[in-house]
């Protein structure tokens, strides 16, 4: 006899594991999928995109202000690398894990709103600091606030859109962050020509306080697992058991390592690009802000959106295309990045930078989307935070710091040209990052199958590869 709910079931995607079933063998009801109209989903996604843009604008602002800050406080390039990288990243990830765990159990909307308010206030406080130490502490406060943004946002997006459209949605979210990077550079470059650097921090931090209030009042909270109606609703596991379940998935471990490797190159280049144009090409701050902001916004916007669209289309047949796309972007970025660093024509350098940074950003959308796909609904915030830990501490933290250290070491021999060779050394790391990305595919399909299995089944509890299921890349 046919189950009353069987008429509501949809076929599984070709080439993918069969979805989890309820105890009587019938597919769980799909009512959750139709609770929200597409316009309502788009509205929430749009607001999250605004949050992402403000997030990265406030974070990236300091890169256009490195030179005046360094001159006022007499800091070295290594110190500035720590300020823009490791000092930020260490707090970001330390706060990120408990905040993400909270978002998996509470209201993600409230967590995001509180985060926006916190980082906006601390950005403004950067403008009243009177020493390098005070500025570093204020930047740590910015990091604490920003730590609550991505885990909750990624989790909400995963509930809004199924895995067949998830990469595209996260691509738009990442693209908004890219716009924020360009906005931070453009606005910072424009304002620094009229105001001192402290005033710039205050002016760009203030609007976030109003945004935080609006997010708290206007963003509805979607039901958990709304876009995965074939998954049987399961309670949240304790923190240690959640970490153990995720840690047993080889694909998840390699997603974190892939994000780390790609971020080291990506963030290292982004953080020092403005200083490169100032030192090597002698470009004024206003011109850097306008041209670099435009090149960054166009390159990052194109890379993050197109990679999501392509990943969604190709992964209908094979989920492993996500990581093939990520690896391909890193490899294709090398010749354009080399051209950006070696050409003597500064306008051509801006164009090559835009192409290179667009390709260096391709990894973000597939990796973030796949992280949400291999994690269960009540684990998605924490999964995003774990990937962010590797991405930020060892990616965002080490990338700018490595360039700063190399600059100081090469300064004696190459002078202002030292940053050119430091960035070339960093760019070569894209090869290693691509290798890690493609290695993720070895057990991706079998690990995804476990995500579709109930937690209490042998498949759901296990994280070791099943016999014969280690697949080719």
User: What pLDDT, on the 0 to 100 scale, is given for residue 19?
Assistant: 39
Q: Average per-residue pLDDT in the chain?
A: 82
User: What pLDDT, on the 0 to 100 scale, is given for residue 113?
Assistant: 93
Closest CA to 447 of 359, 373, 340: 373
Closest CA to 135 of 182, 192, 212, 66: 66
- Compute the CA torsion angle 154, 155, 160, 166 (nearest 10 deg): 50
Whole-number percent of the chain with pLDDT over 70 = 86
User: What pLDDT, on the 0 to 100 scale, is given for residue 60?
Assistant: 77
User: Mean pLDDT over residues 88-97, rounded?
Assistant: 79
Tell the residue number behind the tokens 């008429």, with chain if given. 7
pLDDT bin (cut points 50, 70, 90) of residue 2 is very low
User: What pLDDT, on the 0 to 100 scale, is given for residue 21?
Assistant: 41
User: Mean pLDDT over residues 215-242, rounded?
Assistant: 78
pLDDT bin (cut points 50, 70, 90) of residue 324 is very high
- Compute the CA torsion angle 76, 142, 95, 54 (nearest 10 deg): -120
Bigger pLDDT: 80 vs 134: 134
Whether the per-residue pLDDT at 441 is higher than 90: the answer is: yes
pLDDT bin (cut points 50, 70, 90) of residue 456 is low
Chain CA centroid to CA 166, Å: 14
User: Mean pLDDT over residues 35-64, rounded?
Assistant: 86
Query: Distance between CA atoms of 130 and 138, rounded to whole angstroms?
Result: 11
User: What pLDDT, on the 0 to 100 scale, is given for residue 454?
Assistant: 67
Whether the per-residue pLDDT at 47 is higher than 70: the answer is: yes
The CATH number that domain 36-218+241-461 falls under is 1.20.1250.20
User: What pLDDT, on the 0 to 100 scale, is given for residue 371?
Assistant: 93
Note the pLDDT tens digit of each residue in 233-271. Answer: 666 678 888 888 898 999 999 999 999 999 999 989 988
User: What pLDDT, on the 0 to 100 scale, is given for residue 457?
Assistant: 55
Note the pLDDT tens digit of each residue in 166-191. Answer: 888 888 888 887 778 777 877 887 88
């Amino acid at each position: 006899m046919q189950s009353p709910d069987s008429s509501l079931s949809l076929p599984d995607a070709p080439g993918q594991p069969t979805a989890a079933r309820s105890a009587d063998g019938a597919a769980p009801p799909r009512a959750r999928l139709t609770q929200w109209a597409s316009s309502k989903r788009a509205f929430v996604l749009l607001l999250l995109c605004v949050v992402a843009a403000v997030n990265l604008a406030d974070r990236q602002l300091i890169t256009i202000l490195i030179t005046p800050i360094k001159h006022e406080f007499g800091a070295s390039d290594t110190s500035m690398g720590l300020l823009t990288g490791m000092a930020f990243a260490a707090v970001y990830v330390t706060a990120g894990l408990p905040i993400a765990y909270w978002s998996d159990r509470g209201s993600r909307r409230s967590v995001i709103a509180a985060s926006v308010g916190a980082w906006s206030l601390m950005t403004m406080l950067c403008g009243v600091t009177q020493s390098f130490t005070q500025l570093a502490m204020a930047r740590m406060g910015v990091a604490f606030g920003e730590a609550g943004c991505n885990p909750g946002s990624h989790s909400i997006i995963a509930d809004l859109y199924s895995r067949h459209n998830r990469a595209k949605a996260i691509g738009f979210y990442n693209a908004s962050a890219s716009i924020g990077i360009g906005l931070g550079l453009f606005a910072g470059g424009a304002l620094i020509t009229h105001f001192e650097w402290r005033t710039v921090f205050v002016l760009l931090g203030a609007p976030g306080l109003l945004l935080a209030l609006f997010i708290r009042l206007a963003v509805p909270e979607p039901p958990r697992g709304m876009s995965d109606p074939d998954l049987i609703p399961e309670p949240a596991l304790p923190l240690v058991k959640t970490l153990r379940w995720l840690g047993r998935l080889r694909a998840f471990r390699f997603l974190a390592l892939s994000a780390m490797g790609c971020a080291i190159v990506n963030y290292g280049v982004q953080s020092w690009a403005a200083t490169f144009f100032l030192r090597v090409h002698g470009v004024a701050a206003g011109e850097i802000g306008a041209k670099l902001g435009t090149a960054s916004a166009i390159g990052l916007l194109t890379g993050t959106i197109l990679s999501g669209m392509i990943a969604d289309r190709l992964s209908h047949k094979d989920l492993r295309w996500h990581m093939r796309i990520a690896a391909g972007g890193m490899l294709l970025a090398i010749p354009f990045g080399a051209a950006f660093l070696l050409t003597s024509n500064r306008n051509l350098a801006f164009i090559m930078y835009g192409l290179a940074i667009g390709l260096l950003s391709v990894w973000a959308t597939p990796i973030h989307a796949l992280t949400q796909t291999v994690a269960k609904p009540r684990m998605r915030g924490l999964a995003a935070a774990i990937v962010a830990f590797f991405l930020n501490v060892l990616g965002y933290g080490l990338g700018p710091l490595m360039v700063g250290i190399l600059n100081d070491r090469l300064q004696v021999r190459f002078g202002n040209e030292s940053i050119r060779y430091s960035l070339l050394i960093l760019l070569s790391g894209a090869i290693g990052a691509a290798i890690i990305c493609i290695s993720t595919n070895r057990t991706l399909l079998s690990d995804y199958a476990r995500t579709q299995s109930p937690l209490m089944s042998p498949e759901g509890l296990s994280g070791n590869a099943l016999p014969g299921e280690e697949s080719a890349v």
